[in-house]
Amino acid sequence: MKIHNGIAIIERDTHLSKWVVEHNRLDFDINALPTYLPYFPKNGTLINIGANIGCYAYAFKDIARYIHCFEPNKEAFECLEYNLAKYVNFELHNIAISDKETTCNVNNDSDNVGMAFIEETTNGNVKTKTIDSFNYQSCDFILMDCEGFELNALKGAQQTITKFKPIMVIEINDATLSRQGISRNDIFAWLQENNYIYRNIYKNQGLNDSQLDIICTPK
């Protein structure tokens, strides 16, 4: 961890941390934020699965009542803690989110730390839990970027999603999904079965790109 103008970054990271250094700000995806912040109710509850160093959750700090962040990568989590420590509405968890409670290892070899992914095993060094196991009393928005484990995370949040019907933003990356033996169609099918409609977060773009973010709204 390195501190750059009061922001904790991962020095070897060639993506988010590099952007922070170049722009001197933590809220990374400034172009995407206006596309889904209007869907978030003031004083609502956000669940951020794959919080990285806090660049997305940070954008909600002034409008959310509660923000629950999950980040399994210890290196990123240390930065997340530093960057969000002064805000009382954050709850931070150094665990992975899946569809069952077990353990995993984090593969963190890439220079792009955001591409780190988990591999479930019975003797891993990081715990995995389900969102449903937290028995949250509210959930208005789920922000999900977990490098191929999106379907697992959705299945483990089934009860929470059914109860609260949150808006969701989910990363779709064909390469990371393929690594888990699934495709975007598996995620689309789950969303349809659970009465969600979805589109590219950018209204003028379709669903053909190999990597994109989709916004999902209940019917």
Domain ranges of the chain: 31-218
Residue linked to tokens 């988010």: 16
Q: Cα 189 from chain centroid?
A: 20
Give the residue among 10, 23, 8, 199 at the shortest CA–CA distance from 115: 10
CATH fold, domain 31-218, is Rossmann fold (3.40.50)
Measured CA to CA, the distance from residue 114 to residue 61 in angstroms comes to 21
- Digit-by-digit pLDDT tens for the chain (219 residues) are 999 889 998 888 767 788 888 888 888 666 667 787 888 988 999 999 999 999 889 989 888 999 999 999 999 999 999 999 899 999 999 999 999 999 988 877 666 666 666 677 888 889 999 999 999 999 999 999 988 889 999 999 999 999 999 999 999 999 889 888 999 999 999 999 999 999 998 877 888 888 889 999 999
